[in-house]
Amino acid sequence: MVTVDGKEQKDTRLFRHLKKWLEKAVMDFEMIEEGDRVLVGLSGGADSFVLLDLLDSPMIFVPKFSFVAVNIDMGFDPSYMSYDTLGKHLRENNYAYVMEKTDIGVAAHSDFNKKNPCFLCSRLRRKRIFEIAAAERCNKIAFAHHRDDVVETLLINMFYGREISTMMPRQRIFGGRMHIIRPLVYLREELVKKYCRERQFPVVENRCPSAKTSKRIYVKNLLDELTKNNKKIRENIFKAMSHVRPDYLLPLSKKM
């Protein structure tokens, strides 16, 4: 535990704020039930460290559950430095964990698939995560997507997928045998990153060659630009997803 002036960093105002909203999201969307076993995805990015840390804190309202942290190394770093860093963090904090070295990221960028590496990459990674969840007897899979990810996904799906949809806070998969949950759904990215800095988590660099050129980065930059004129733009888009007025959309039968 990191301390400043002898005080545990975890009990900060920011921690309490994030924890309160995480618990609210978990309760609002019934993400966790008594006895659940949750696979917590740990990519090594700030968001995933924060998710793991917040779930590993005493909960006031959330029923008792157990969890296992899972990292899938995508194979971008041949020295596996980030793999070792994550392993050290997990061991030092006594987490139950599974780590796996793969070549998923590299394969997704091979010549036959250069045009759309993200599609294959996320598909293969998901597949492996589902397999590990089954092997670890997890019925919930927690991803560290926050409010900004949900907003960006809505725009990506509209801009490139011609549909109005986004990531769901709780998503039923395999006929209800498992659920994907997103406990950070109410949290702003800015605060998640701030908490990560506050706790000095050993964030590892994302070495994916597509990381800086993805559609997500384009949409993120676009939203940053729009935020200069309207600071509430992300919040407004997020809230708009709960205020849908179907009568003012195009009729479903009119295919275009």
Residues that bind ligand SF4 (CB under 6 A): 74, 105, 108, 117-118, 121-122, 208, 210-211, 214
Q: Are 42 and 71 in contact (CB under 8 A)?
A: yes
Question: Which C-beta is closer to ligand SF4: that of 108 or that of 237?
Answer: 108
Q: In angstroms, give the least distance from the CB of 81 to ligand SF4.
A: 17
Question: Which C-beta is closer to ligand SF4: that of 27 or that of 211?
Answer: 211
Q: In angstroms, give the least distance from the CB of 176 to ligand SF4.
A: 27
Question: Which C-beta is closer to ligand SF4: that of 36 or that of 73?
Answer: 73
Q: In angstroms, give the least distance from the CB of 122 to ligand SF4.
A: 5
Q: What CA–CA distances, in Å, run from 97 to 2, 27, 67, 68, 188? A: 21, 25, 9, 5, 27
Q: In angstroms, give the least distance from the CB of 9 to ligand SF4.
A: 29
Q: In angstroms, give the least distance from the CB of 125 to ligand SF4.
A: 7
C-alpha closest to that of 97 among 112, 87, 83, 107: 87
Q: In angstroms, give the least distance from the CB of 218 to ligand SF4.
A: 12
**Angle, helix 233-240 to helix 147-161, in steps of 10 degrees:** 70
Question: Which C-beta is closer to ligand SF4: that of 74 or that of 133?
Answer: 74
Question: Which C-beta is closer to ligand SF4: that of 194 or that of 207?
Answer: 207
Question: Which C-beta is closer to ligand SF4: that of 82 or that of 210?
Answer: 210
Q: What CA–CA distances, in Å, run from 169 to 2, 25, 57, 85, 183? A: 31, 8, 20, 29, 7
